[in-house]
Amino acid sequence: MNILVTGATGFVGKAVLAQLAADPCGRLRAAVRRPTPTMPTGVQSAVVGDLASDTDWSQAVAGVDVVVHAAARVHVMRETAADPLAEFRRANVDGTLALARQAADAGVRRLVFVSSVKVNGEETSPGKPFTGMDAPQPVDPYGVSKLEAELGLQQLGAASGMEIVVVRPALVYGPAVRGNFLTLLQWVQRGLPLPLGGIRNQRSFIALDNLVSLILLCAAHPSAAGRIFLAADGEDLSTPELILRLGRAMNKRVRLFSIPTGALHGMASLLGRSSTSQRLCGWLQVDNSHARELLNWSTVVSVDDALANTARHFVRTAHR
């Protein structure tokens, strides 16, 4: 099976590429924006430039059976674009559909699209996790763009016969993680007293290794065609529990104290960080049973081991 991985230097794409290169089953090609000397042995590079409506994918998709599409304009913590939705659409919708059309024309059999649980929404009610059958309710421009890309891919797949598989991960963590998870690691490393001890939520996450295993299964399993899979470790954690486990993994004392959740939200609002307080305090649970039952998928690393791997990498590289 010949596979093209887009976003091959990104957090998820790089891990997918490394796993495929470690156990090759055909020709492996990596789509990159610019030439890079760090590709694994045996991997062909295809320089395609930015992800946009006019990107030329012809050389990248030639002779390919499956595309794993991990390239995207990702969620931006401090957005500077005047029209964020337009920027997300340019890459995540127009760029994705340009790739899919050219892939279908080249005879690609399947495209695995790495989407986001943000398509479902930003939070769940306690004990009512998101499933692939729920009506999408994206809130931010990133989630909206991912939903629009999913819908466009499904239409294109129906018209062309190319199989579309959608994977919606919960928050992904692992070595070299960025974003909010990195912020938590930094808080723990500094030993800061944190007013988060009274939070009683549950949130789903997925370790990078577990996500890669599901993506690769979706690339090959006959029953994956046309399906949407939500990806999570299967063990949900409260925010205080996550911080305590990171502290244990980093051999750091964690200092938590409690203040009312309403006060947390109020302080965050005054600081312009309402979305941060929502993620720290809110519920977001993901039901991964569809992948487990239909594909016989199971996680390859435990939550504790994955958190330990993430923490060890952070400690090793924090002062570089």
Among the listed residues 175, 145, 186, the one whose alpha carbon sits nearest the alpha carbon of residue 312: 175
H-helix or E-strand spanning residue 58: helix 58-61
In the DSSP assignment, the letter for residue 89 is I
- Those residues whose C-beta lies under 8 Å from the C-beta of residue 93, and which sit 6 or more positions away, are 145, 148, 149, 152
- One-letter identity of residue 76: V
Q: Which residues of 62-100 are buried (b: 16+ CB within 10 A; e: fewer)?
A: eebbbbbbbbbbbbeeeeeeeebeebbbbbbbbbbbbbb
Cα–Cα separations (whole angstroms), residue 221 to 76, 163, 291, 296: 33, 11, 11, 10
User: How many C-beta atoms lie closer than 10 Å to residue 192's C-beta?
Assistant: 10
d(CA 147, CA 188): 34
d(CA 216, CA 227): 14
Residue ranges in 171-234 assigned as alpha helix (H): 179-190, 208-220
173 is an active site residue: no
Which pair of structure tokens corresponds to residue 145?
Answer: 């763009």
Pick the catalytic residue: 88, 113, 142, 181? 142
- One-letter identity of residue 117: V
Active site residues: 142
